[in-house]
Amino acid sequence: MFEIVKKLMMARQLSMEEGRLILLNQNILMMPVAGLVGIQKELEKDGKENLIYVASKKTGVWWAEQMRRYFGAKKMDLEKWGINVISLAGYGRPRVIDIDHENKRMIQELENSTVAEEYGNVGKCVDHMFRGYIAGVARLFFEGSDVDCVEILCKSKGDKICQFVIKPKKDFDQNNVLVKKQLEGI
């Protein structure tokens, strides 16, 4: 991971100055994972945890557009940089398992999800921010087609790894409990 930090600093794409942290020409901030989990748990009390997904999906679309605009990022570049940025940001270690461009489908895993680890084993999927980001960024992979993301495996459910399916909303089984819960109100 330090290699990517070194490369970013050498390319002047990571800077820390005067109360700002700028990564790839974007202002970012660091916060404890417990802060995000706390916000999400408060939203869960009212059944509104999907707000995190919706906002993160919009941010993922925006981030991919900025990367393309500022750096001319192509799909493969965005995949490489996206994986490095997610790792650097501390979400865990992402890995693309499969991409089917024709059918606009992707499977992605997140090893050592810090959000799931902070939640503990609560019997449900909890990586709403991460799944929103990857759903938003996946639009670039699928030529602007809107896709959604459902987490099907999660450490917080007792699984060994977190796994996500990205595809058009209409292609999800709307009777599936995980799909209903994670795409409810979207």
**pLDDT value for 27:** 80
Evaluate whether residue 42 is within a structural domain: no
Residue range 70-95, pLDDT digits in tens: 666 565 566 666 777 777 788 899 99
**pLDDT value for 90:** 83
Evaluate whether residue 6 is within a structural domain: no
Evaluate whether residue 127 is within a structural domain: yes
Number of domains composing the chain: 1
pLDDT of 178 strictly over 90: yes
Q: Residue 56 corresponds to which tokens in the numbers above?
A: 């993160």
Evaluate whether residue 32 is within a structural domain: no
Query: Percentage of the chain with pLDDT > 70?
Result: 87
Residue range 25-76, pLDDT digits in tens: 778 777 899 999 999 999 999 999 999 999 999 999 988 888 777 666 565 5
Distance CA 136, CA 52 (A): 13
CB distance 52 to 43 below 8 Å = yes
Query: Cα angle at 53 between 119 and 15, to 5 degrees?
Result: 85
Expressed as residue numbers, the domain containing 97 is: 52-183
| pTM recorded for the entire structure | 0.87
Evaluate whether residue 89 is within a structural domain: yes
Three-state DSSP class for 124? Answer: coil
Evaluate whether residue 129 is within a structural domain: yes
CATH of residue 117's domain is 3.30.1380.20
Evaluate whether residue 170 is within a structural domain: yes
pLDDT of 137 strictly over 60: yes
**pLDDT value for 79:** 66
Q: Residue 49 corresponds to which tokens in the numbers above?
A: 């945890």
Residue range 146-165, pLDDT digits in tens: 999 999 999 999 999 999 99
- Average pLDDT of the chain? 87
